[in-house]
Amino acid sequence: MVRLTLVELRKLADTRSGLWLLIVIGLAAAGAAAIVLAAAPDEEQTFAGLFAFGLVPAAVLLPVLGILSMTSEWSQRTALTTFTLTPARGRVIAAKLIAAVLIAVATTAAAAALSAIGNLVAIGTGGDGSWHIEAALVGQLLVNQVVFVLMGSAFGALLMNSPLAIVLYFAIPTVWSVLGGMVKWLHTAAGWIDVNMTSVPLSEPGMTGDQWARFGVAALVWVALPLALGTVRVLRREVS
């Protein structure tokens, strides 16, 4: 499993799309820090503020990397080689998921380092420069990254087509958010199933039990369910 996971991690940057996506995520995180330093009020130029805002690009783009990881065997026609070398397809799926989680953890750590540099700049330019950040908030931000990259992986496993999975990953939750906000009788359901809405408290300290429960239900709907169905599809699909 360790070898398979290392292979999947390497494959994330082996293709031009994966490599450039990682580069764009890094540049976007640096740009986010620059925006905070240039436009935010002095009291908001803190390590916590830089860290939370710096993770926004990764939360948007990392799921695409998860999608590409899951669909690569089919879009790049490597399924025959991969599943011949490792006939137990479940092990390959598990390795891809572990790699996705590890890249989310690594991205969070990189954002923390970049935020620390930004906070030093803030101190030098007259910003607040506070280093205080609650451990619970760090955990929440990490959970947010992991859940969204797994959501992308789930869509990739279910659809097994990169363009289709990317489009539907962004389109379906967005449409549901719009409908939940516009249609009155969907308000209650949206409060529990809308992953965009229930994930907002993760970027703020002090999540309540009710907020965790709502986010958990949304994660079951948008991550666990498509991942389970996608795993079944991958295990049963014939390789031609």
Gap between the Cα atoms of 112 and 60, Å rounded: 17
Do 198 and 146 form a contact (C-beta atoms < 8 A)? no
d(CA 26, CA 121): 18
Helices (H), the chain: 2-14, 16-39, 47-54, 56-75, 79-85, 89-124, 135-159, 162-182, 187-193, 195-198, 209-219, 225-236
pLDDT of residue 150: 96
Residue matched to tokens 């690569």: 72
Name 35's Cβ contacts closer than 8 Å, sequence gap at least 6: 53
pLDDT for the residue 182: 84
Of the candidates 42, 38, 100, the residue with the CA atom closest to the CA atom of residue 69: 100
What domain range is 158 assigned to? 2-236
Percent of the chain having pLDDT more than 70?
100
Number of domains in the chain: 1
Which is more confidently placed, 15 or 208?
208
Distance CA 166, CA 182 (A): 25
Q: What is the pTM of this model?
A: 0.91
- 93-122 per-position pLDDT tens digit: 999 999 999 999 999 999 999 999 999 998
User: Which range is least confidently modeled, 107-116, 154-163, 179-188?
Assistant: 179-188
Q: Write the CA distances from 58 to 4, 42, 52, 110, 117, integer angstroms.
A: 24, 25, 11, 11, 18
Do residues 207 and 228 make contact, with C-beta atoms less than 8 angstroms apart? Answer: no
For residue 4, what pLDDT band results from cuts at 50, 70 and 90? very high
**8 Å CB contact between 25 and 13:** no
Q: Per-residue pLDDT tens for 20-42?
A: 888 999 899 899 989 988 888 88
What is the DSSP secondary-structure string of 110-166? HHHHHHHHHHHHHHHTT--------HHHHHHHHHHHHHHHHHHHHHHHHH--HHHHH
Residue 133 near residue 48, CB atoms below 8 Å: yes
